[in-house]
Structure 1
């Protein structure tokens, strides 16, 4: 070693180093005045570092540094080390803690298939050349916070199995790849700046939460086939250059709250929950989803925003352009694959289109331009309860589509067969509910779906009838309208009342309306003297009230006459029968009320079949 000096080349392939031997080697190449060793080309391939601790801290490798296949069986540090040219650490085994804090890699850094068994520290490390960690095994807590990758970097196939993996505030200036990487512990890419394309295809995040909050993606971010076994947090992320996000799988909550999408984007995800509170889409956006319950509270869409249920498994292009279905986590496969929207509160619905969405639990309170909401395909709403037959006072509700806010209001009012409020959500009062029903009815009518609008008209009228601020006279009129025909929408109800009214009129006419004896004209006259004209006068006697027992009046003949009078009265025609005074009033009432009931039946039928 006496022949070595500052910047000398060293070749110690296969050498076993103790702490003392390594210190002696470092002293031989010590730089004058700096106190740090300076190596030229350093070759430590297959070397074994067996001391209590190995230190290359502050060392400068002015030439190529080769540690391929080396084995560090103790703690090792490369803190503030400088690798001026290629650093080859392929298949290196670090058994203890490995510390590369503030190190600088000016050339290519090759950590492929390296094994880190202990704690790993790359905090504030600068990688200026191509960097590769493909297939690396990092079993301990791993720290890349504030690291700078100003070159292409690849962690493809790497396994991060430690309790945590931190890339917070790191910078990736060029293309970076995490394809097929596996993250077992807590994983954080918070506040990371991805200036180049980043790839997380088929990466697996098994931790409780994968954190990408406040990061910036200036180019494409590919998450095709990525799996988040718990939650994925993209809170306040800026997607400046992303046109496609996914298809990704998230067993827990996919959080896009406060995220900003600058370009037209398609988001494809199979997730349990998707939260888009205050998310901002600055161009057109398409959300193709499976299983997800979506919360769009206060989301901002300056251009059309479409939410669509994806009917089949997402596909991923393989070699040769073949599309293969992506395997979904078993935790998702047991769920209903139809997407549910939980809230549109604070959203400008003029830009929103929903296709094949379950809206049975959706809160519409606070939605702007709800009348311009576009509903396509089969969008379902909550049903009114079927009734509870075994209660002392059975509750029988008319089958119709309802808003979940009506369920909450009725449940608070003591109608416990309706669904209760979840959490501390405020209960919407009937006046506001009537406005929501009115706007949704208009949305259906503008979409040329008149039958679909009928239930929302029914709900609007129900809320007006139950609104305490509605004048009593109007509420009474609405109650009568509801009881007689279900607001002109229930054919069976109005027809039922029509049949009852006609039957009652027939019975009344048989008992008191038809005369006892049919009046016959009587002609009388006088002749003053022979040869002079005869003066004749014909009179019809007034009908005589029927006499005798009531049962005797229920004859077939009287039934036929009464029925003919009633049928004619429905279409405003006179029955052509001489009636008693009471019968005349019965017929007048029938000619006023029964045609109205018939008209309501026709109106209800037309409302269900109108195009």
Structure 2
């Protein structure tokens, strides 16, 4: 710890208040009143290592006019409900290693700077619904034991949740990610709802232990991710990197003016990829998918080499860059012969011998 701790006992880690040498909860009532009276809106609030109950937290918030400046609450233990709704934090906020034993709600609050909750632990629900963070939000290695709500929130410089654990239901519906979000190595224990999100997002090596619904405008990466349930992905005006993705349940991928790479993916359940506008598949190389339906996609640059179950692939209204003679330019003979025998690819079964040799 890089602060002078309370002299009340060796076990107390709360920052000592001058000139008393005691942390806020251990001050004499008169000294506590005097200390709170010295607090001013927009000024530094430093309560590192302190144990804060609900009543004391309320008094601190009111003493700061619900508008603290730079706020340092590292390793604070909140023993009561934390209700900091509709507040404005005028400076950077640090809650690294903080413990929230009950509800933690920042509903509708505004953070003018960066917010760090790295390593924080939430025993109950966490709400960032409607929050606006002008800077960057970090939840790296944080543990959320119950539901986590980030819907309609805005993050000007993005957010980072690397190796974070979401044990309850998590929703980011309608969030605006600014510079993008990273969930590399994160684990989602229950359903994840990530619908109508704007901004790039990385779920590389993430683990979806239940169903996951991802809908993004921008770029999305779930490379090396694992989904134990249903995975439903929609990407608009960007791209989807799904290389080496593994899905146990059903997979649905919808593209709108977007490109996707599925190289090395393992899709154990039924899988469907559909496209609108200028949507394309870049690669199906080494894909292991017993049942894969492709609809409305540009496959002119798609590689098929090493496709494990070519007989399980079905095509409908896909484009192969056909020449005037109805054959794809640059495709090897077996696929050209297969294409030339059909006037349209709708609902045709891709022959194993043809696809296994295509590139």
> TM-score under structure 1 normalisation?
0.46
- Which residue number in structure 2 is paired with residue 166 of structure 1? 182
Contact 1:232–1:250 (CA<8 Å) still a contact in 2? no
Contact 1:16–1:48 (CA<8 Å) still a contact in 2? no
When Rg is computed on C-alpha atoms for both structures, the one with the higher figure is 1
- Which residue number in structure 2 is paired with residue 127 of structure 1? 144
Contact 1:148–1:170 (CA<8 Å) still a contact in 2? yes
Greater strand proportion: 2
- Which residue number in structure 1 is paired with residue 232 of structure 2? 222
Offset of 1:377 from its aligned partner?
A: 4.8
- Which residue number in structure 1 is paired with residue 357 of structure 2? none
Using a 3 Å threshold, how does the CA distance of structure 1 residues 47 and 160 change in structure 2: closer, same or farther?
farther
Q: Which has the higher contact order (CA 8 A, sep 6+)?
A: 2
Q: Please, which of 167, 174, 181 is the counterpart of residue 150 of structure 1? A: 167
- Name the SS for the 1:158 alignment partner: coil
Q: Is 1:260 the equivalent of 2:266?
A: yes
1:158-307 to 2 correspondences below 5 Å? 158-161=175-178, 163-183=179-199, 186-200=200-214, 203-206=215-218, 209-223=219-233, 226-241=234-249, 243-251=250-258, 253-270=259-276, 271-293=278-300, 295-302=302-309, 304-307=311-314
- Partners of 2:148 and 2:90 lie apart in 1 by 24
- Which residue number in structure 2 is paired with residue 324 of structure 1? none
> TM-score under structure 2 normalisation?
0.76
Render the CA deviation track for 1:155-189: whole Å, top value 9, x for unaligned.
0111111x232111111111011111111xx4311
In structure 2, runs of 5+ residues without a counterpart are 1-16, 346-352, 355-359
In structure 1, runs of 5+ residues without a counterpart are 27-34, 311-337, 343-357, 381-438, 441-611
Offset of 1:229 from its aligned partner?
A: 1.5
Using a 3 Å threshold, how does the CA distance of structure 1 residues 378 and 61 change in structure 2: closer, same or farther?
same
- Which residue number in structure 1 is paired with residue 349 of structure 2? none
Length, aligned pairs only = 311
Offset of 1:232 from its aligned partner?
A: 1.5
Contact 2:176–2:197 (CA<8 Å) still a contact in 1? yes
- Name the SS for the 1:181 alignment partner: strand
Render the CA deviation track for 1:579-607: whole Å, top value 9, x for unaligned.
xxxxxxxxxxxxxxxxxxxxxxxxxxxxx
Q: Is 1:339 the equivalent of 2:319?
A: yes
Using a 3 Å threshold, how does the CA distance of structure 1 residues 72 and 198 change in structure 2: closer, same or farther?
same
RMSD (Å), alpha carbons? 3.3
- Which residue number in structure 2 is paired with residue 486 of structure 1? none
Render the CA deviation track for 1:498-517: whole Å, top value 9, x for unaligned.
xxxxxxxxxxxxxxxxxxxx
- Name the SS for the 1:308 alignment partner: strand
Q: Please, which of 40, 43, 57 is the counterpart of residue 53 of structure 2? A: 40
Using a 3 Å threshold, how does the CA distance of structure 1 residues 76 and 308 change in structure 2: closer, same or farther?
same
Render the CA deviation track for 1:63-99: whole Å, top value 9, x for unaligned.
1111101110111111111111100110111101111
Render the CA deviation track for 1:188-247: whole Å, top value 9, x for unaligned.
1111111111112xx3333xx422111111111122xx3331321111111221x24133
Using a 3 Å threshold, how does the CA distance of structure 1 residues 3 and 119 change in structure 2: closer, same or farther?
closer
Contact 1:172–1:195 (CA<8 Å) still a contact in 2? yes
- Partners of 2:155 and 2:189 lie apart in 1 by 23
Render the CA deviation track for 1:3-42: whole Å, top value 9, x for unaligned.
96269xx9x9xx954545x33xx3xxxxxxxx71011223
Greater helix proportion: 1
